[in-house]
Every structure is written in structure tokens, then in C-alpha cells.
């Protein structure tokens, strides 16, 4: 079972999506600073890596503010150089769009962005540093099998759901939720990062002047996304992969969150891509849904009636999902992985379900009203009681 699971998402899909990005405002209002005037490298600190991440579209390095007595570390995400086929104005717009969205977000489970910096022809996003890096690394190392408990996994899942719920309630869809874009802080808290292919599906873009840098302004009708591949294959929902019609990006995020939970649980996803034409595992999954919907056209899943699905969803397979979580969690994930996006659970549905209500979570639901750009967890400790130890083993 494990050998057939998907591996780390390939590079390039997110880059393609950036090039076919949604229509952006004509002009962004974004303040910038000079990187070299404000920051210095951490090469003088023993045992501390200078480069902490590389991807298809950026390199992330550790730096510190000059003349900062606290010597706080920051993650400096330096974007790829402009492609030769891209116009300079389009490239700059996309960089400013990603930064202004990220900078507008204020939630305990979303990485904070503090400044957009330039250095010559390069652009960089100054972000909070998450010491333990990508969640993908800890799944790959087997921590969810050997170190983290079911309570740990469920808490991480609830943190992810809260972060996505905050995004959706403020008119933003991430569109590339995956383990590589979920980071772990020094306190063992999960944070969502990388808004390079995110979409403002309702309200004003936070990069325009009249929003004053705030997201969720003048919320209105839902704007659907144009057809096109966006995200990383194992996490992309079937309606997006089909590419036939416009789609609601919120449903894509819900699907991806469920895949994240399954990947944390089993060390890999249930299929390589959610296409019945190319993936035999997803074809069997879709067949189980289709057969059940013929007998249950209302699609109502109950404690005693749900689709009989194959593989890890089946109660007949050793080490299945129910044995590694609970029947209630299994039903919840099935609802999140409904092949029909219109019938799929929303992120609000998921968080308000009984199973998630009973999951203890060791992070705050939101920052205090007067907290604008937290650089530490001091303001959170007043609101929460630590229930889990999510710090990975050394």
C-alpha cells in the first residue's frame, strides 16, 4: 500500500499557474524597502543554515535585521528572476499580489509577512521564521507513525482547517494547500505559507490603496476561477483537473485539506491524481461514489449509510482509515472528498462537525483584536492551554 502512494509534488505546476494568474488590479499600493540596508545574513551563527528552502519559484534564506539586539531570525523568500517571455510589469504585479495578500493575513495558523524588499532586480518577502520547516519533512521521516499521536495529527488538522476557514471568510482561496506549504514553528504550531497562486474570490484585492492593506473588504458575490491546472497534482480536486469549466476555489482547498490529513495518516496520498482516466485508484474510488449515489440520490451520508469505497477507506483493509482515526473522521473526510464540488463539505461545515468540535487544539482561534503583526507567541499564551507537544524529535 505504502509503495504505491504519491511522493513529493513535482515542481512547475505552481509556476505555470502564476503565469496564467487571475486578472490583477492595474496598480498595487505596496511599500518596499532595500533588503541590504535592512537585513544581514546569519552566516556568522554556528550550525545555522543560511538557505532553509528551495522551490520552483523562490529560494528562502535566513537573515536578521541590522542593529537588532534580539537578533530575531527572519525567512527571506527571494522570488525567481523574471522569465524572458514575461513582461516586467506583469512579473512585478504578480510579486506584489502575492505579498499584499500574505501581508494582509492575521491568523495564528498563517505565516506572517512583514516587508517586501528589493535588491537590484530581485524581489524578496520578509516572513516569520518557522524553525521546524515543512510538514512534508516530518511525514517523510515517519514522525506521524513513530512520534506524533492521533491527537497530534487531529490537532494539526484542526489548525489547518482554522487557517483555511479564516482565508475563505476573508475572500481568499489558497489553491495550493499541501504538506510542503505547511510549516512548523518552534512551539510546534502549524502555519500555512506560499500564496503565489492564491485567488481573491470575493471582495477587494488587499493590494489596492482603498483597502489600506486589509483583506476581506467589501465582500460580495463569489467570483469563479477560470479553467486551468493550479496546485500540485496529488492534492488537486477532480473538477480542477478536468479543466472544462470555471470552478469555486474554496472547494479545491477543502479537497486538498482532506488529502493532507490522509497523507499525514498513511505517509502518502490515496492516489497520484484525481482523474479516473489516468489513475486506477481514483477510478475505483469514483466508481464507489457513483454506485452509492444511484441508490442514494440525495447524497446524505449518515452514521449508518455512506459510500462503500476501496483501499484505505474500506473497513476490510488492514490498517485502514477507521483503524487509524475513527469512523466519524472517516465519514468527514469522505464528505470533503466528494467528487461533486457542489456537494462537497465547505470548510465551515467541516469545522462545525461534531468530530472536529471535540478535537482539542493547542493554538488560539484568532489573534487578539489589537494584535497587528505578531512576532512571537506571547499574545497567544494568554488565550490557550498547551495540550499537546508537537515539537518533533531530534
What is the pLDDT at residue 43? 59
**What are the pLDDT digits (tens) for 70-112?**
889 999 999 988 888 888 888 888 899 999 999 999 999 999 9
- In whole angstroms, give the CA distance from residue 16 to residue 12: 6
The residues facing 341 across adjacent strands are none
pTM for the predicted model, two decimal places: 0.89
Please check whether residue 128 is in contact with residue 43, taking contact to mean a CB–CB distance below 8 angstroms: no
Under DSSP, the state recorded for 384 is -
What is the pLDDT at residue 3? 30
Contact partners, residue 310, CB within 8 Å, separation at least 6: 281, 284, 285, 288
Geometric angle at alpha carbon 60, from 27 and 386, rounded to 5°: 100
| CATH number belonging to domain 32-128 | 3.30.200.20
Which residue has 489600506 as its cell numbers? 212
| Packing angle of the helix pair 249-266, 327-336 (nearest 10 deg) | 140
The residues facing 7 across adjacent strands are none
What is the pLDDT at residue 393? 82
The residues facing 116 across adjacent strands are 32, 125
List C-alpha distances in Å: 69 to 64, 72, 73, 127.
10, 8, 12, 19
Domain boundaries of the chain, sorted by first residue: 32-128, 133-358
**What are the pLDDT digits (tens) for 30-56?**
889 999 999 988 655 655 567 887 777
Cα radius of gyration (the chain): 21
In this structure, what are the phi and psi dihedrals at residue 314, rounded to the nearest 5 degrees? Answer: -80, 135
Q: What residues in the chain have per-residue pLDDT under 50?
A: 1-22, 369-384
Enumerate the H helices of the chain as residue ranges: 13-19, 35-38, 88-104, 135-140, 143-146, 150-169, 238-242, 249-266, 280-295, 321-324, 327-336, 347-351, 354-357, 378-381
383's grid cell: 488565550
Domain 133-358 has CATH 1.10.510.10: yes
What is the pLDDT at residue 24? 62
Geometric angle at alpha carbon 183, from 178 and 184, rounded to 5°: 135
Check whether 65 is labelled as a binding-site residue.
Answer: no
Amino acid at each position: 500500500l505504502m509503495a504505491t502512494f504519491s511522493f513529493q509534488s513535482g515542481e512547475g505546476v505552481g509556476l505555470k499557474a502564476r503565469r496564467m494568474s487571475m486578472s490583477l488590479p492595474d496598480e498595487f499600493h505596496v511599500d518596499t524597502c532595500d533588503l541590504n540596508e535592512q537585513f544581514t545574513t546569519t552566516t556568522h551563527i554556528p550550525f545555522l543554515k543560511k538557505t532553509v528552502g528551495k522551490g520552483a519559484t523562490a529560494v528562502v534564506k535566513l537573515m536578521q535585521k541590522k542593529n537588532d539586539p534580539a537578533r530575531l531570525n527572519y525567512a527571506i523568500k527571494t522570488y525567481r528572476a523574471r522569465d524572458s517571455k514575461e513582461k516586467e510589469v506583469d512579473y512585478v504585479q504578480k510579486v506584489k499580489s502575492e505579498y499584499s495578500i500574505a501581508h494582509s493575513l492575521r491568523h495564528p495558523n498563517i505565516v506572517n509577512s512583514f516587508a517586501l524588499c528589493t535588491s537590484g532586480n530581485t524581489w524578496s518577502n520578509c516572513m516569520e521564521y518557522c524553525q521546524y520547516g515543512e510538514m512534508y519533512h516530518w511525514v517523510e521521516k515517519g514522525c506521524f507513525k513513530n512520534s506524533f499521536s492521533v491527537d497530534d495529527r487531529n490537532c494539526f488538522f484542526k489548525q489547518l482547517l482554522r487557517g483555511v476557514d479564516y482565508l475563505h471568510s476573508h475572500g481568499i482561496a489558497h489553491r495550493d494547500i499541501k504538506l510542503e506549504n505547511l510549516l512548523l514553528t518552534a512551539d510546534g504550531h502549524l502555519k500555512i505559507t506560499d500564496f503565489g497562486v492564491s485567488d481573491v474570490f470575493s471582495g477587494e484585492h488587499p493590494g489596492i490603496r482603498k483597502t489600506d492593506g486589509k483583506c476581506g473588504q467589501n465582500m460580495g458575490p463569489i467570483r469563479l476561477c477560470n479553467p486551468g491546472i493550479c496546485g500540485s497534482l496529488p492534492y488537486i480536486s477532480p473538477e480542477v483537473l478536468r479543466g472544462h469549466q470555471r470552478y469555486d476555489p474554496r472547494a479545491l482547498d477543502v479537497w486538498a485539506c482532506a488529502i493532507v490529513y490522509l497523507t499525514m495518516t498513511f505517509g502518502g496520498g490515496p492516489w497520484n491524481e484525481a482523474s479516473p482516466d489516468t489513475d486506477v485508484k481514483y477510478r475505483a474510488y469514483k466508481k464507489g461514489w457513483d454506485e452509492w449515489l444511484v441508490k442514494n440520490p440525495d447524497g446524505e451520508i449518515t452514521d449508518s449509510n455512506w459510500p462503500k469505497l476501496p483501499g484505505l477507506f474500506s473497513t476490510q483493509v488492514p490498517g485502514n482509515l477507521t483503524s487509524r482515526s475513527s469512523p466519524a473522521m472517516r465519514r468527514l473526510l469522505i464528505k470533503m472528498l466528494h467528487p461533486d464540488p457542489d456537494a462537497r463539505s465547505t470548510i465551515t461545515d467541516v469545522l462545525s462537525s461534531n468530530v472536529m468540535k471535540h478535537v482539542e487544539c493547542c493554538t488560539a482561534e484568532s489573534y487578539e483584536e489589537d494584535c497587528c503583526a505578531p512576532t512571537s507567541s506571547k499574545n497567544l499564551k494568554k488565550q490557550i492551554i498547551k495540550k499537546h507537544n508537537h515539537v518533533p524529535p531530534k
